[in-house]
Amino acid sequence: MIHKKILPVVIGVMTVWSFCYGVGERLWLHEDPPRGNYGMAYNPTNDRIYYCKYYDTHINIVSADSNCTSYGSIPTPNNDSNCVDIKHCAYDNTFWVLSKSTNRVYKITPTGSVLRWFSSPANDYPAGLAWDEENRELYLSDRRSAGGAQGYIYCVDTLGN
């Protein structure tokens, strides 16, 4: 049985700790708060993980091991601060990036240069994308938060058709 004077201290520490870490967060990345973390992609070419933070104008790069060593970042397309997802395209070592603020899907290089873009059909609240390497198709999710409407998943080719 925990002493009555110790119990409030234990509860207080656990409460503060719960505000500092997200559910499932890797504790060794605690210096990078989970708030605003959105999409992530693994690049097998360089064994790195790329991830977007909603309010940042860059895409972070970390090692794929448990140390998650930082390898810097690349700029988001057009320095957009609302990128919600990123996926690696293995056949040409590029990335697909979904932007909420511009409602665009960008194809970028590993250094962040924009190769091309198209308007996203998920134009209410684009929330995620998936890349089908075999069929070279993109799946885009739209939360459809406006007015409580139903969410949708769109399938498009690499030109947005």
Q: CB of 57 within 8 A of CB of 37? A: no
pLDDT at 12: 39
Measured distance CA(160)–CA(73) in Å, rounded:
27
pLDDT at 149: 72
DSSP secondary structure, the chain, as one string:
---TTHHHHHHHHHHHHHHHS-TT--GGGTTS-STTEEEEEEETTTTEEEEEETT-SEEEEEESSTT--EEEEEEPGGG-S-EEEEEEETTTTEEEEEETTTTEEEEE-TT--EEEEEE-S--SSEEEEEEETTTTEEEEEE---GGGPPPEEEEE-TT--
pLDDT at 23: 47
Alpha-carbon distances, residue 28 vs 3, 10, 25 (angstroms): 32, 22, 9
| pLDDT tens-digit series, residues 34-50 | 567 788 899 999 999 99
Length of the chain: 161
Extract the residue ranges of the chain whose pLDDT is less than 50: 1-23, 27-30
The model's pTM is: 0.76
